[in-house]
């Protein structure tokens, strides 16, 4: 059974750096084909893909946010970490981590519960 | 503005059939990348409803079906139930952006 859970601060100040951790179980990020992504959703708005990391350390970023994002993995801890620099109130959102579908499908089949991050001074 | 375009809302009475459209372009759906659909119940995380344009994950009722043609895709829900009231999102991959893209979401109201 695959599960994921996000953790991190609920409140950050403008200009600060956000660090979110996704702790997962039920799969290993050292297994070929595995990937974990981050998706966010501002209150009342649509989903937005942010970043994804594969088992082979291949990293993909949203072009619009690439300069602010870093995704890393710690295979031994079953964790994926996302950092986002220079936070702004418009970055207020629920941040989800999700398991990437296998078998060549570019989708997300298991999601964490999400963590709400508010950016405010 | 989302890369994939969905109607903001649809509605239907219990038992009826509704469809939700998802329009993309030649760099995503038209480039033969699959479309995937998610159901998001109020206050919960999205749930994968359809993958590979037409396949249902285990546990998803066969009342839900997906199709794709050209640069568009559709999600159909038959035998509408009150529990289907949720937000629905389409998603694909975009070769120009080299990334995953979502639609703006469609709110389904069961009358």
Task: Please spell the DSSP secondary structure of B7-63, one letter per residue.
Answer: -SEEEE-TT--EEEEEE--TTTGGGT---EEEEE-TTS--EEEEBTTTBPPTT--TT
User: Per the CB < 8 Å rule, is A105 touching B52?
Assistant: yes
Residue A103 has pLDDT above 90, yes or no: no
pLDDT at A29 over 90: yes
Which residue do the tokens 């479309």 mark? B35
Q: Which residue of B has its CA nearest to A41?
A: B45
* β-pair partners for B9: B107
Residue A102 has pLDDT above 90, yes or no: no
Q: What is the pLDDT at residue B67?
A: 97
pLDDT the model gives residue A7? 98
Taking CA–CA distances from B51, the nearest residue in chain A reads A107
How would residue A14 be classed by pLDDT, with cut points 50, 70 and 90?
very high
Closest chain B residue to A115, measured at CA = B45
Q: Do B99 and A105 touch (CB under 8 A)?
A: no
Contact between B100 and B93 (Cβ < 8 Å): yes
Contacts of A63 (CB under 8 A, 6+ apart): B97, B98, B99
Mean pLDDT calculated for residue range A58-87: 97
SS3 state of residue B98: coil
CA–CA separation, B101 vs B10, rounded Å? 21
Q: What is the mean pLDDT of chain B?
A: 97
Q: Residue B82 in 3-state DSSP? A: helix
Nearest CA distance, A67 vs chain B (angstrom): 15
Determine the distance in angstroms separating the CA of A49 from the nearest CA of chain B, rounded to an integer.
Answer: 6
């Amino acid at each position: 059974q695959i599960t994921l859970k996000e953790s991190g601060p609920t409140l950050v100040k403008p200009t600060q750096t956000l660090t979110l951790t996704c702790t997962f179980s039920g799969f290993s990020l050292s297994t070929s084909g595995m990937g974990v992504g981050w998706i966010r959703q501002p209150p009342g708005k649509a989903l937005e893909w942010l970043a994804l990391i594969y088992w082979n350390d291949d990293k993909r970023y949203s072009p619009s946010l690439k300069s602010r994002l870093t995704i890393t993995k710690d295979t031994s801890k079953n964790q994926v970490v996302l950092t986002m620099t220079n936070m702004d109130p418009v970055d207020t959102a629920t941040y989800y981590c999700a398991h990437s579908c296998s078998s060549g499908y570019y989708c997300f089949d298991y999601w964490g519960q999400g963590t709400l991050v508010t950016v405010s001074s | 503005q989302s890369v994939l375009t969905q109607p903001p809302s649809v509605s239907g009475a219990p038992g009826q059939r509704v469809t939700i459209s998802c329009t993309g372009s030649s760099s995503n759906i038209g480039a033969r990348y699959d479309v995937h659909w998610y159901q998001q119940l109020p206050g919960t995380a999205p749930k994968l409803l359809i993958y590979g344009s037409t396949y249902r994950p285990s546990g998803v009722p066969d009342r839900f079906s997906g199709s794709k043609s050209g640069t568009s895709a559709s999600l159909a829900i038959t035998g509408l139930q009150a529990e289907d009231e949720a937000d629905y999102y389409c998603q694909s991959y975009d070769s120009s952006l080299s990334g995953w893209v979502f639609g703006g979401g469609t709110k389904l109201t069961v009358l």
